[in-house]
Structure 1
Amino acid sequence: MDYLEDLENFYQVVKKGLEEIGEHSPQSQEDELDSMNRRVKLVRKQCFVLIEKMADLRISESLKIKIADMELSPRTKNALIGDNIITLADLLRRSIHKVARIQNLGNKSFMEIQGVIRQYDVTWEMLMPKR
């Protein structure tokens, strides 16, 4: 898992920075402040990258979940699978309007699908092709 390696690298950068601050005395307070600001910006950027990677990993795993394994009523599962929607990713590649028009999906089934999408913390727009 790349994010664990990134976390270790992040830790090493912070540790090295703290050691350098203790070993070297800057020539002025301005130099010290400038050095700390650069280090803070680097750490902040690395945190954002790490958080994004972890979120992407979680989302990509969620997208592989099969419709058959989700907590949906048999009627909803059968309607989705019957329309060749096998995974959560397949579902999210369809527009809301196309899913709403699937045969044998009523309002109750559609609301059930919306609940599952919220449960996995994904959105309809996530996999829609850009125009």
Structure 2
Amino acid sequence: MKWRELAIYFYIQMLFKNQREVDYYDLLYTINMMAGKKNSRRIIRRLLKEGLIEKNNNKYRIIDNNDFLSRKVLPYIATRIKRRLRNIDPDVEVSISNSSIVIHCKRIECKETIEKYLKLIPNLRPHIFLQEFSP
């Protein structure tokens, strides 16, 4: 899955968290607003294929799968953050432990880049921790 599709999944999960089932058109229009008309059906197919949503007639059930978070999302985001921060600070360390990402960095530019990632996916904010190196 792509970064944007992961962000859309977390946004949908946050938006429809109080509903057991979501109407197909509600889900489609919500994704249309975020990803555009051409991409929305493709994203729904990918979410179905990954097992993140289930289809029942014309209703969709969004599955809150913490296993998916630790298995796919966190390693993907950790590698993206590590690649981006290596250009700024070669001593940066990114590690995954107990469904959280821990980032050790020295420079202020690293912190600003991390804040940009956190704005994209607000649901991941509790899973990413920033620690500064002690001199």
Same fold (TM over 0.5): no
Structure number with larger C-alpha Rg? 1
**Higher helix residue share:** 1
Structure having greater relative contact order (Cα 8 Å, sep ≥ 6):
1
TM-score (norm 1): 0.36
Q: Which structure shows the higher strand fraction? A: 2
